[in-house]
């Protein structure tokens, strides 16, 4: 069992069940534009690379001319409704409290303003030393430059660092940064997509990581 001195958490599908609000906002966007809607599973399969990619994928190549309008509609609607149905996953607060004496940050490809609002409104911001969204830096997950500054700032070795998330980008970020990965298998991404990447650890709920890391 490794000692996790530094834990990096994803947000969507890891700490918070945000999928329903995202899917509803996409559905509203497509309907407003008069376009065919998509089922929830398909919409959520597009989550993980930031809002621009989400909208591009939902529009499809045949509707690229709607991109600017779709972005405006989505951002306005989601900004007003991002906490309508979003809740913490079971055990999140207990997990964070268990590791309360360890350094922790949130790194998400979600926009910074949305990421910060959700973390604060769900009452878990005090557990984290930093909250980083996808538009803060000129690069997103899985770019290891997101991790390097923290390793230097906190003086924590790579072998004491673990990235916990439900998406392929979280596993790839850990691999690219040379740290441990832990895949949350009950998030937004299909579990088979995660298992194919051979994460170092897996969990069905965040409560399980209490038994994975000391």
Active site residues per annotation: 10
**8-state DSSP, 2:** B
Coil/strand/helix, residue 1: coil
CA distances to 24, 27, 48, 57, 165 from 39, rounded to whole Å, are 10, 9, 17, 13, 24
Distance of CA 137 to the CA centre of its chain: 16
CA distances to 125, 152, 179 from 148, rounded to whole Å, are 22, 6, 10
CA dihedral sign of residues 20, 23, 25, 28? negative
**8-state DSSP, 12:** B
List the end-to-end C-alpha distance of the chain, in Å, as a whole number: 7
């Amino acid at each position: 069992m490794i000692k996790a001195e530094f834990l990096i958490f994803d947000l969507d599908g890891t700490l918070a069940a945000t999928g329903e609000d995202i899917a509803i906002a996409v559905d509203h966007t497509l309907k407003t534009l008069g376009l065919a809607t998509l089922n929830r599973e398909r919409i959520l399969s597009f989550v993980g690379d930031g809002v621009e990619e989400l909208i591009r994928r939902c529009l499809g190549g045949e509707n690229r001319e709607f991109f600017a309008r779709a972005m405006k509609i989505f951002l306005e609607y989601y900004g007003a409704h991002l906490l309508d149905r979003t809740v913490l996953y079971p055990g999140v607060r207990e997990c964070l409290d268990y590791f309360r004496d360890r350094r922790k940050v949130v790194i998400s490809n979600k926009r910074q303003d949305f990421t910060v609002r959700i973390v604060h409104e769900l009452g878990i911001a005090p557990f984290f030393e930093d909250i980083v969204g996808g538009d803060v830096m000129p690069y997103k997950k899985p770019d290891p430059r997101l991790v390097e500054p923290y390793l230097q700032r906190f003086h924590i070795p790579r072998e004491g660092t673990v990235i916990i998330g439900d998406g392929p980008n979280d596993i790839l970020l850990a691999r690219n940064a040379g740290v441990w990965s832990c895949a949350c298998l009950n998030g937004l991404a299909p579990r088979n997509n995660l298992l194919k990447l051979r994460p170092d650890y897996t969990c069905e709920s965040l409560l399980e990581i209490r038994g994975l890391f000391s």
